[in-house]
Amino acid sequence: MGRKIPVAEGETTRTVCALGLLRTGVDEKTGELLTISVLAERVGWAADLVSGMSAALLAAHWNAADVGMLASGEDGGGRTLPSNAWMALRRLGWTAAPPEHVRVNDRIVRMAQEQAGRLLRSVKWRADLTAGVLATWPADPGKRTSEEWHAVRAAVPGGQHQPSSVISSRTRQIAAFIKEHDRMPVDVFEAESTPKAARLLLLSACDGQQAIIERADAPGRALLRLQLPTRPDPRSYRDWTWVSCPIKLPPTIPAGAVLHLPTLRLHQGRVRADLAFTHAVPKTARSGHAVALGVDWGLNTLLSAGAARLHEDGRITALGAGGMFRAAGVLAKQHRLRRLSEHLHTRTGRYQRLTAGDEQHVLAAKHTVLSEEISRVCARRSNLNGALAWAAARWAVDQAIAAGASVIYVEDLRSMEAHGMGRTFNTRMSQQVRRQIVDRMRHLAAETGIAVVTVPARNTSRHCPQCLSPLRHRKDPDRSTGPGWKWAICPACSWQGDRDQGAWRRIASRGLTHQTKTVCDRTTGDLAIRTVVDTLEAGAVITPTTPKTSRDRSKTGPTRHQATRPTPRRRRTPSPVGSSGPAGKRPEGPVHTDRPRLPRAAHRHQDVTTISTPTTGRHRPQGAALGAGFHLHAHATPPRWEHILEPDTQSGSGLLS
């Protein structure tokens, strides 16, 4: 099949990944049908061979000199290294070999070199970050001063735009090493152990002699052919056979997309396939946007979003009142699982200290059980975070599509650090999945050509969206003088509204006025607005739309006919009038009037024993004492059987008694 797809004007190609599953396979040599367990076993044998060779490569080159040479992009002779990791390792002479008396083909060695090369290339960023933190080690690792922050950002590559949490986490790692060894580490290779090689098959490093994928005759189907061993230690090439695995393609893969060789992973006895494909999508633009969606982050209200329009005369108006994505129930469950995980880690740590590594200890079995429970809780937290991230990203992109927006401006909170809010608040903020939501938002928005740009979060919730004056925050609109933070009131222009609703207006207007300052990260391709320009910020205000207070009363036609009755009657017979209640109310319900005795629940006036009367304390249920139950001011209409029916003398008169 062709590896290129036709691209029209205004389109570009995009390579993404979808999750598939290998459910069965057929051994082409014997014709045997392989079940899912047998297929997973044979894939596991191949993955063990690859991970073993990859681990040996990592252990041999886990040092600063080799990683620096690989990351430099040039070999010893000054020639440029290939982009493929396995080819770069072969250019440098870093080879891998299978165990003794085990026969594998060259494509298996390629996969091991590709996996090890990718891991070694990724270490370079952590090595430079650790070196910068070590060179500017603060006097108090728990709290840096402003001068120390400037120094560490200057020593770290790209430190001006590096999130503070990344530098803080690296500082905590070094502090833990100092506490354990009573000295500072030399570099990241001493602070971190050699990474483990995952059990997977990177088929993208292979060619047709190891694996082939092609679309089947039926739509939504594909066929993957690959060589797998028939035993865990193949002795010759006869122990490798071709296996055909049909794959049901996910609906997210278009019919005209080009399929690439997947990556096979083992998960809970199944073989998962990360199906990479390339398809055509609309191009995204950095600037030239007229309608934008502003997205603000919250704690209980996870997302607040709304659209704004940039007019030709430079005015910016809001399109509607916006919306909110609330996930209080999911976040509450997330916090419960976090507390459970912390409790389990505390107990396992205590058992580990008591057992001291003795497998025959009486507490060793409990330690094993709790360790397995920790893994299950971590899996639940991971799945919950993933589902929440996809749901929030899908909601934000749908809001942009509905508003006709071509860009989504997201508040950049990577460097946010809460001060003085307490340990509980800081922990809840650190557990947010904002990064996952933004990544998934970019993934979904690229399908429709919508750009996702991060903007600085400075004063988005502190200043008025209409006049940029400092806001006064209160608890709610009914208590405009008490302390709080949810409701915002502007003393200059009298604007008031929800704090998050004002924030997304500020974010959208800031993005529209600063869209010419949008830059693209060369490494990740993410779009961002780095700084706020004061001259552009002065125009980032939302112009209020003047509501139409009165209708046009000019005489353009005959006068509209006025009804003789001001309020239409719903029934010809008015409600019966009771002796004790006000006239004109409807009866309590359709209960027959000829019943001799009524149930207790049908009586209006309840007894004082409806709820128990407390004998101690200051609380006194006044409603129950007055015969109104729990609700003192909720009075129902007297039932029909307590009234005397009177003749209808007002029917059709248009008056309500």
What is residue 608's predicted lDDT score, i.e. its pLDDT?
A: 40
Residue 233 sits in the same domain as residue 315 = no
Token code pair at residue 163: 């999130």
Amino acid 628: pLDDT: 42
396 and 496 co-located in one domain: yes
Query: What's the pLDDT at 76?
Result: 82
Are 229 and 109 part of one and the same domain? yes
pLDDT for 602? 43
pLDDT of residue 600: 46
Write phi, then psi, for 324 (nearest 5 degrees). Answer: -135, 145
Q: Are residues 402 and 532 in the same domain?
A: yes
Length of the chain: 657
Q: Is residue 475 part of a domain?
A: yes
Total domains present in the chain: 2
Residue 611: its pLDDT value, please? 45
pLDDT at res. 412 = 85
The alpha carbon dihedral of 438, 439, 444, 449 has a sign of positive
Same domain flag for 195 and 317: no
pLDDT at 115: 95
Single residue among 509, 537, 565 that ends a domain in this structure: 537
Report pLDDT for 607. Answer: 43
The conformation of residue 21, written as its DSSP 8-state character, comes to: E
- Clarify whether residues 115 and 194 are in a common domain: yes
Distance of CA 204 to the CA centre of its chain: 28
Rounded-to-integer distance, Cα 92 and Cα 86, Å: 10
Structural domain ending residue among the three candidates 490, 513, 537: 537
**pLDDT tens string 99-136:** 989 999 999 999 999 999 999 999 999 999 999 999 99
Q: Which domain holds residue 122?
A: 19-137+184-244
Which residues are paired to 282 by β-bridges? 11
- State the pLDDT at residue 327: 85
pLDDT of residue 654: 36
What pLDDT is stored for residue 612 in this prediction?
47
Q: Does 62 map to a domain?
A: yes
CATH number for 499:
3.30.420
Pairing mode, strands 291-297 and 301-310: antiparallel
Same domain? For 225 and 319 the reply is no
The pLDDT value given to residue 214: 93
Cα–Cα distances (Å) from 394 to 330, 389, 397, 429, in that order, read 16, 8, 5, 22
- Judge whether 551 lies within some domain: no
On whether residue 208 sits in a domain, the answer given is yes
- Identify the residue whose tokens are 């993208």: 204
Q: Considering just the CA atoms, what is the radius of gyration of the chain in Å?
A: 34
DSSP codes of every residue in 197-208: PPSEEEGGG--T
Residues 303-340, buried b or exposed e (16+ Cβ, 10 A)? bbbbbbbbeeeeebebbeebbbbebeebbeebeebbee
Of 223, 244, 265, the residue that ends a domain is 244
Residue 351, number of CB atoms within 10 A of its CB:
19
Are 457 and 515 members of one domain?
yes
505 and 405 inside one domain: yes
Distance CA 428, CA 21 (A): 35
Distance CA 473, CA 462 (A): 9
- Same domain for 60 and 127, yes or no, is yes
Q: Token pair for residue 379?
A: 């899996």
Whether this model's pTM surpasses 0.85: no
- At 235 the three-state DSSP class reads coil
Burial class (CB in 10 A: 0-12, 13-18, 19+), 254: middle
Q: In this structure, are 418 and 306 located in the same domain?
A: yes
Please say whether the beta carbons of 213 and 259 come within 8 A. Answer: yes
Please identify every stretch of the chain with a pLDDT value under 70, giving residue numbers as ranges: 1-3, 299-300, 414-432, 480, 546-556, 562-657
Q: Which two tokens stand for residue 98?
A: 């299978």
Residues 216 and 320 in one domain: no
In a domain, 54, yes or no: yes
